[in-house]
Structure formats: C-alpha cells, structure tokens
Structure 1
C-alpha cells in the first residue's frame, strides 16, 4: 500500500536515500492515507502510503484540506496586493471594511498587518461562535457561522489587548483579513485568491471549495469513520484551501526560488519545478511578495525565541532557517515547509487527525529540519 516515486515532471530521478527516508517517515504516521513529498531545487520525490488500500486516483493527485496551512496563501495574497499598491499593511481594517461605521477605538487601530500576524488583540474565534458550534463540533462547527456574521463580530469586538502588543493565534483575525481585502478590492475572496496567487503560480489543482466527486481526499476520525468535507463558513481565508500535494510543492517551490521569479533570465532554484514557468512569474509584484513573506517581522515568547514572518513560523536548523505552517481539519492534516537557503521543500498530508500522541507534524517537521 505504499509507493515512492520520482514523478515524471521531476528534474532528476528519485534519490534512493530520500526515498528510504520518506518511507521510514511514513511508517511513523497512523492514517488511512499519507503523502510525503520532497522537492530539492525542483527535483521531486513523493512517497504515498497509509493503512487504506489505494483508490483509483493516486493520493498525491487528490485535493486535501489544508486547514490553517491555508494562511500562507492569504499572506502571499496580501503581500502581492501591497506590492501592487492596492492596499498597505498599515491600512486600518475597519476603515476598509465598513467606512464610517462606529467601532471601539481599539478595533479602529487594527491594521491589515495586525490581522495577518496574529497581533490584532482579537481572540482565536468570536465569542458567540461556540454556542452554535459545540452541538456539531465533530461534524460541522464552522458552516453555521457565515461571512456577514464574522464581519459583524469584528465590528462590535472589544479586544483585550492593544493591537501590536501581544501575539495570539487567531483564525478570527485572518478571516477578517480575507473579508477586508475583498471589500477593499471589490472582488470576492475566492476570485481574488485565484487571480493573484493560484493562477500566476499555475496552481490548477488548488481551490477553496470541494471539487468533483472522486477528486477529494476523504478525512477520517480516530476510529476510522469518514468525515464530511469541511465547510469553513465565514472563515474562508483562515482555513478553506484544498490542494493536491503536488500543487503544495509547486507553491513551496515558488518560495524557494528567491528573487529569480522577478528576473526573466533567471533559472534559479525552484524554477525548474512543474508549474514554475510562464509570463506570470516574471511579474515583479509576485517576486516582491514572495520575498516579503520570507522576511522575519516579529519575535515573541520567552526571551523572544519564537520568530515569525508575515505568515510563516520561522525556526533555525542545522541547515539554515526553516519556514513552515501546519494545519488540521476534522479529519485531515497538512504541513507546508521550506528551507530558503537550500531549495528544500516538504509537503505532507494525512487523512486522520489523532489529537493526542500524533506524530504527523513532528515527522514532517523532522524531514524539513533534519534532512541534509
């Protein structure tokens, strides 16, 4: 039930050592379906496995729910809109979302940067989210909380902390960012993401809504029961992206390509990967956005040991800095990570969320930080 291959579009054959490493890592993850994918400067090795029998569509070509690993897509979108001059990081969200609407003075000070970097002072989710979510926590907690309700919750919020003073992870804040960018550009979030990120990077198998039957990975509870496809309701920007592991690699390869994306003559690391060709990738605003989201912008925690970019967690490793983000939905998990200095990218998915003693994130993170 496992397979390790160098994909036909890879720049080089699979390295035996990498193939063995992925196979060993997959064995540590308990899930019906597992995909571990590595790209080294565009040369890809992908291992698929898991406890279930393979289906008619290869696992690496099924769209998986990324959950919170959707946030780097939102971050790249914001960075590109800023590079285009359509918005600014310091624009106040309430002014763009509802000009003239009376809000709390603290809410008035919340900027687009605050929303994306989890420094807005907003809670993880709106206070009135939980009463409607708890009765269906294991089936559909978000579907009953639509976009207009997210916006209303933001406009009447009373943040506990002044924006920019504390870091607190917030799906609420990133969702508000999505609605704010849609309002500022007059373009629905899904269309905006496609125009600014998915189409230029040739991410043809990435979307924010479930695709046709047979094209989506199916998540599972711990006991193996299938989980319905996730409906994120009004929290689209924070967790609605669905992508195949191959498209996930393409997204990461763009980040490892350095400034070469802005130079039509460049053939730098990552530019040989599938999808990383075409006139859209010579756009200087895309190159600027990709550079911007890699730049560390804040530190937090004891002795400020935790570093973040606009949208990625940023850690040291023996092989240089690593940037990563993980996500989970009711029955799926995803991991995205890359090392900008060495052109290594890791994409991983699993169709079970265990909660306790789960090895998925640690295994994927180890591939990113420990692989020479």
Structure 2
C-alpha cells in the first residue's frame, strides 16, 4: 500500500529551517516522515531527481574521483573514502570491488535517487542519495575536496529525470523478520552446518530448513554459535585495534552492504555511540541498540570462518566482523584467538 507524504513540502522545509543542525534521518523521524521525503521536499531548490538505475549510475561514478561512500542501517553507519571502480552489474545483485570501496547492491531496493547540493557553513556539500520504496536511505555518495565538479555536473545532467516532483510517495516499511528456528530440526542444522565448505552455503541451508540467521544461531548453540555478552562488541573492537589485526566489517540494509577490509586504528566512545575514526574509514555504532551478540564459526575449504555478529532487539542484523586474509598476511588465526577469549552471555543477563 502506497502512502503520500503526511506533510506538504513547504511544511517539511519549515521543520528543517526550525531544526537546522539535526541530521536528516533524525529530523524525519521526529516529524513523522521518511528521510527520502525530507530530501524530496527540496527538489528544484538544491536537489535534483536522478535515475536510481544501478547501471546508469555506477558506470558514471568513477569520473568523480575520490569520494566518500556511506551505507547505514538504523543502528550502524559505515563510511569509506575511495574511488568507485570495477563495477559488476547483475539482475539480482551487483558489486563494486576495489581496495577501498567494496559493495554488494540489490537493485530491487534502489527506487529513488537524488543529487543534493546543500549550502553549509563549510561550503557546498554535494552528494548522491539513494532510497528504497519506504523512503529509507540505501546508499549515499559524498564528494570530497578533490572530487571532479565538472564530472558531477555532467552526471547530474545525464541522469536527471523528467519528473521533478517535491512529493515522494512511499510504501510502509517491511518489518524485520523475527528469529525463526525449529527445535525439531536442530540436529539436522548442526549436521549440515558441519559439512559446509563455503560461508555462502549457510543462507541456503537455513532457507531449506525454514529458519533464518538469528534463529539458526539460537538453535545450533555452541560451539557453532556462541552467545556473547553485548559489551563484548567493544572488547572485540579494542582487541582488533590493540593487536593491529585486519578484519572485514560488514554493515548493510536491504539494498546495500558495504565492507571495510583492514585495520581499526582509532576508537572513540561518545554517549551511546562507539566510533571508529580512521583517516579513510569511519564506523558509528549505537551500542545501546545491541540486544544479542554471537560468535559464529562456519567451516570452509580455507579453514573456519569466524565472525562476531550483533543484532538489535527486533532480530535485525547490525554488523558482522570477520578476520581478514590477504596476500600480505593472514589475520584469521589471531582473530580466532581474540574471539575465543570474548566473554559469554550470562544467564542472568537474559532476565
């Protein structure tokens, strides 16, 4: 069912003017609209509607030069600096594969796109922002000081849509799938899990057994999936930093997953947020949103793939962290030892 904006574009712009320093997502939540509807209210002012087709967009991004790629869910934001390249198109899934920007995109969720040129105290801030059917951000691309402005202008001209409406119609948000498990199939799950040779087989296995990720973790239990204290996310991040390990950090939503591959150098807690503040990699994690943390081991042909995964109270995946293997070094052994030492969930924490 599709709903029109509950506020007029004029009313949205008034709310923005009255709250100039609030982040778009926070302001949208406060006034009862979506972030996409907030951005659309400025079409014709400092926003242009553009094509959300991945092939149209991603084949033009390389010419922008160095930019910042941002992907988020409601509990975590990942930001990577680099240049878009090595784009692989696909009907159901597409990819960008570079050392700095590593993305998995799901085109069916790329519904609306905008080019934004917002005047700030620091100058004009230019970005490309893509939203799903509910008006929630799927992915954003922010220009940096050295980005090519001539290419930006041409990109916006090439992708500009004929329709430039300030009202964005949105669908209701799809609810987070609740954890699904089946105690009667727990032994089958454990036996099939132990036979896996690739991590990608896991989702096929859970689908076959009519389970999902978190439901399967709860069914399998240790040693395949070990429940950790929620505070161990911070312990894990500190360990990665202190031991100079390289990891793979996955943060995503229904339409896009962004991946950091490398070290974590600077951590800073601010209120409920735990932040990685490295030169070309930032992570902003709402620690107070974390309801469950699992240490998970999946067998592969290259050895066990060990991850630490955080979930929110609804069962939604917030982020995953794995040990990294590169031609320069294999950090998976040290990562495995770090994860092994993380504190388990105590029964009283469930009360």
The reply to whether TM is greater than 0.5 is no
Give TM-score, length-normalised by structure 1: 0.26
Give TM-score, length-normalised by structure 2: 0.27
Which structure is higher in strand share? 2
Which structure is higher in helix share? 1
Higher relative contact order (CA 8 A, sep 6+): 1
Larger radius of gyration: 2
